[in-house]
Amino acid sequence: MRTIVETVRERALPAEVCAVISNKPDAAGLAWASEQGVATQVVSHRDYASRDEFDAALAAAIDAHEPHYVLLAGFMRVLTPAFVERYNGRLINIHPSLLPAFPGLHTHQQALAMGVQWHGCTIHFVTPVLDYGPVIAQGVVPVLAGDTPEHLAARVLGVEHRMYADVVGWLAEGRVVLDAMQRVRVHGIPSRSFVLTPTGVESSEGRYE
């Protein structure tokens, strides 16, 4: 979330982060966002008897800000199909694996258990199917000998921050198109992959230390 807010401001993108909403009152990001002058709100799932009631309250809080996009960042609740359909084509998530591999939780442990040599993360449009949807961009990191889930997670996180920042830029500039076949095209971006190299994260837009 912090990366998204800072990216919009530092790059002077034609957009603004209109609100940060969390289901956890103690989420550290709320305090930071408030310090930056961004509106914040808590919609606690514990205040509602059902997932449908919580999602309806969450949607009402979101709709009050009339956003073009809803960006999930560390939001760990499973959303109902009705909520997802409400924001069809506007709801974006980041997942710490190269989807469709390793959906759900404990992705880094799953990757090491399977013995894959490459791991990473995916930014995608959200659909009613968990951790499934049209891919906007993917980041790739090598799996190294002696890796632990913690080491692998840290390496993936560096790529996550870089690629989410660029995807936010693409969205703000109107480059991202979801076609009728549910495939993503990004105007002016020949490659939407981010690869961790010995000198930093490399993407179609350049290399970042």
Domain boundaries of the chain, sorted by first residue: 2-208
Instruction: Give the DSSP letter of residue 45.
Output: G
Above 80 in pLDDT, residue 198?
A: no
CA distance 118 to 138: 12
CA distance 196 to 158: 8
Helix (H) or strand (E) holding 71: strand 70-71
Instruction: Give the DSSP letter of residue 38.
Output: -
Q: Enumerate the active-site residues.
A: 95
Q: Give the model's confidence band at 203: pLDDT under 50 very low, under 70 low, under 90 confident, else very high.
A: confident
Residue 23 in tokens: 């289901």
Q: What is the model's pLDDT at position 113?
A: 98
11, with CB counted inside 10 A (0-12, 13-18, 19+), is: middle
How is domain 2-208 classified at the architecture level of CATH? 3-Layer(aba) Sandwich (3.40)
How much of the chain exceeds pLDDT 90, in percent?
Answer: 91
CA distance 113 to 80: 30
